[in-house]
Amino acid sequence: MGVPSRTFRRSPSYLLPCVLGLSFFSITVLYLYKVDDFANTKTVAGHNLEPTPWHLFPTKSFAEKTRHSRAYKILHCSYLACRYRDPTTTTTRTTPKRRRPHSPHTIPKCPEFFSFIHKDLEPWARNRISINHVMEAKRHAAFRVVIVGGRLFVDLYYACVQSRQMFTIWGLVQLLRRYPDSVPDVDMMFDCMDKPSISRTEHEAMPLPLFRYCTTQDHFDIPFPDWSFWGWPETNLRPWNEEFQDIKHGSEAESWSRKIPRAYWKGNPDVDSPIRTELLKCNHSRKWGAQIMRQDWLQETKGRFEQSKLSKQCNYRYKIYAEGFAWSVSLKYIISCGSLALIISPQYEDFFSRGLLPKKNYWPVSPIDLCPSIKFAVDWGNAHPSEAKAIGKAGQDFMESLSMDRVYEYMLHLITEYSKLLDFKPVAPSSAQEVCTDSLLCLADLEQRAFLERSIAAPSPAPPCTLQVVKSNVIDSLIEQKKRITREVKEMEMQGNNIT
Ligand SMILES: *[C@@H]1O[C@H](CO)[C@@H](O)[C@H](O)[C@H]1NC(C)=O
């Protein structure tokens, strides 16, 4: 009996340090293990993400120098920031809250171009969208957004160039603030690079639903408002409503008759865009009536973009729009000037450009014989100043009507219509993370944060506009009409007799 009792008496004296040592050891191991976990977590800012393999770009660098500071930041921003959620987005969702009753007569109809939502979703109208469709679309996606019960989760696959990912997801998070009770549960795949990838011929048997910033008539990609509506820090473009007001103000600096009677373009010609290369050849005021300027981003970044302020580029009567590598975010700024927008027949369309009509709010310029086409437009405008001015003004009015309120309404209707087509109940995958206003502000660097803070949305005081159900042939005839007018302008130019 002596031995056990001695053991019994002795045991606390060595067990205690043992237990303490062991727990200290395991906490340390757990901590170190977790540091790795946190440090390796993918974030909307681009941590631990590779560029998309289908479009390479330089990998991002971050301010945090050590693994520990990165782990701390990610722990803080990604894991803890959405715990204490903003009360405007955390309304109890079990029973959808009733809005103040609005008489149906006071709710305005959505603009006509919203009807393209149905056209874009037509490929799935009959057979609907299965989880299989979504998982197949993943192969072309940079991230997945799942909204469940008004909470937004992202599953990140690849980084996006510059701050596109952060600002695109920010836009969705703001949509939840704008319409806290209305955004349905949804599961969407996004790509953030320029060119559409779901070709209609290649994917005819199984159309894949993939959201991106633009599409073409030969693609299934679903156009969605691009990041620049919330700001583009790398080019110093502020949120759209601010930028528009500034441009409009700048456009009023000179009357129409005092604006320079030539066509102006300023941008980056080195983006692998044949049309921009072609455009450089038209740089001759007398011969082609055009001034083509190269935007030197490096130089402009140093000068804080003072030279590229969009509001100072409205003193020309004509402003040229030329697509870049695909669609270009510059379209909305160019049309906002109220000058006559000379749009070189675009191949790509974004969500709103489909609402523009030739000779109503822009002048179509043919890419064939580009310089003479520009010259023809300039001569026509100078010979018909009141018509040219009216078209320019109609363009500006169109852009003014595309307020951020409209952009959110478009997003809401698009997501709602899309969600109706899902034949499964969206569930956030285990690898996804919740994202909220605070977590994005936390992950943003100082510069990004300044832009994000300017575009925080407030709950909408009114219900969204009413989406019209339009027959597909109405949209087809609209597209036909656009083509016809564009053709007529080209014929006028070829006959060369037109100016009077
Ligand atoms: C176009 O011409 C103007 C004036 O002649 C010149 O300053 C400008 O650099 C030219 N643009 C390009 C892209 O070469």
The domain that holds 299 is classified in CATH as 3.40.50.2000
Q: Determine whether 133 is exposed, middle or buried from the number of CB atoms within 10 Å of its CB (0-12, 13-18, 19+).
A: buried
Atom of ligand 1 nearest to the CA of 294: 13
- Co-location of 376 and 452 in the same domain: no
Q: Is residue 155 part of a domain?
A: yes
Q: Is residue 19 part of a domain?
A: no
Q: Is residue 185 part of a domain?
A: yes
Number of domains in the chain: 2
- CA-nearest residue for atom 6, ligand 1, is 293
How far does the centroid of ligand 1 lie from the alpha carbon of residue 291, in Å?
7
- CA-nearest residue for atom 11, ligand 1, is 293
pLDDT at site 386 = 98
Atom of ligand 1 nearest to the CA of 269: 13
- Co-location of 375 and 439 in the same domain: no
Pocket lining for ligand 1, CB < 6 angstroms: 280, 283, 292-294
How far does the centroid of ligand 1 lie from the alpha carbon of residue 296, in Å?
13
Q: Is residue 130 part of a domain?
A: yes
- Co-location of 444 and 373 in the same domain: no
Q: Cα separation of 410 and 351, whole Å?
A: 9
- Domain range for 340 is 238-349+353-401+491-495
- Co-location of 149 and 221 in the same domain: yes
How far does the centroid of ligand 1 lie from the alpha carbon of residue 283, in Å?
6
Q: What is the mean pLDDT of the chain?
A: 90
Tell which one of 293, 294, 296, 316 to mutate to probe ligand 1, the residue whose CB is within 8 A of the most ligand atoms: 293
Dihedrals φ, ψ of 276, to 5°?
A: -70, -35
* Count of C-beta atoms within a 10 Å radius of residue 27: 10
pLDDT at site 4 = 43
pLDDT at site 64 = 82
How far does the centroid of ligand 1 lie from the alpha carbon of residue 363, in Å?
24
pLDDT at site 101 = 60
- CA-nearest residue for atom 8, ligand 1, is 293
How far does the centroid of ligand 1 lie from the alpha carbon of residue 465, in Å?
46
Q: Is residue 485 part of a domain?
A: no
- Co-location of 242 and 205 in the same domain: no
How far does the centroid of ligand 1 lie from the alpha carbon of residue 305, in Å?
19
| Residues whose CB falls within 8 Å of the CB of residue 333, separated by 6 or more in sequence, listed in order | 237, 243, 247, 310
Tell which one of 283, 295, 299, 374 to mutate to probe ligand 1, the residue whose CB is within 8 A of the most ligand atoms: 283
- CA-nearest residue for atom 12, ligand 1, is 293
Question: Is residue 457 within 8 Å of 406, Cβ to Cβ?
Answer: no
Given a cut of 50, the residues of the chain with pLDDT beneath it are 1-8, 89-97, 498, 500
Tell which one of 262, 291, 296, 371 to mutate to probe ligand 1, the residue whose CB is within 8 A of the most ligand atoms: 291
- Co-location of 206 and 340 in the same domain: no
pLDDT at site 61 = 84
SS3 for the chain is CHHHHHHHHHHHHHHHHHHHHHHHHHHHHHHHHHHHHHHCCCCCCCCCCCECCCCCCCCCCCCCCCHHHHHHHHHHHHHHCCCCCCHHHCCCCCCCCCCCCCCCCCCCECCHHHHHHHHHHHHHCCCCECHHHHHHHHHHCCEEEEEECCEEEEEECCECCCCHHHHHHHHHHHHHHHCCCCCCCEEEEECCCCCCCCECCCCCCCCCCCEECCECCCECCEECCCHHHCCEHHHCECCHHHHHHHHHHHHCCCCHHHCEEEEEEEECCCCCCHHHHHHHCCCCHHHHCEEEEECCHHHHHHCCCHHHCHHHCCCEEEEEECCCCCCCCHHHHHHHCCCEEEEECCCCECCCHHHCCECCCEEEECCCCHHHHHHHHHHHHHHCHHHHHHHHHHHHHHHHHCCHHHHHHHHHHHHHHHHHHECCCCCCCCCCEEECHHHHHHHCCHHHHHHHHHCCCCCCCCCCCECCCCCHHHHHHHHHHHHHHHHHHHHHHHHCCCCC
pLDDT at site 484 = 97
- CA-nearest residue for atom 9, ligand 1, is 293
Tell which one of 260, 277, 292, 320 to mutate to probe ligand 1, the residue whose CB is within 8 A of the most ligand atoms: 292
Q: Cα separation of 436 and 4, whole Å?
A: 60
Question: Is residue 165 within 8 Å of 177, Cβ to Cβ?
Answer: no
Atom of ligand 1 nearest to the CA of 284: 2
Q: Is residue 103 part of a domain?
A: no
How far does the centroid of ligand 1 lie from the alpha carbon of residue 286, in Å?
13
Atom of ligand 1 nearest to the CA of 283: 1
pLDDT at site 141 = 98
- Co-location of 305 and 345 in the same domain: yes
User: β-pairing, 316-321 with 363-365?
Assistant: unpaired
How far does the centroid of ligand 1 lie from the alpha carbon of residue 7, in Å?
94
For the chain, how far is it from start to end, CA to CA, in angstroms?
Answer: 122
- Co-location of 390 and 426 in the same domain: no
- Co-location of 202 and 261 in the same domain: no
Q: Is residue 166 part of a domain?
A: yes
Buried-state track 286-303, b at ≥16 Cβ within 10 A, e below 16: eebbbbbeebeeeebeee
- Co-location of 135 and 277 in the same domain: no
Q: Is residue 430 part of a domain?
A: yes
How far does the centroid of ligand 1 lie from the alpha carbon of residue 374, in Å?
16
How far does the centroid of ligand 1 lie from the alpha carbon of residue 297, in Å?
16
pLDDT at site 45 = 93
- Co-location of 397 and 410 in the same domain: no
- Co-location of 136 and 189 in the same domain: yes
How far does the centroid of ligand 1 lie from the alpha carbon of residue 369, in Å?
20
Question: Is residue 333 within 8 Å of 309, Cβ to Cβ?
Answer: no
Token reading at 215: 């599409």
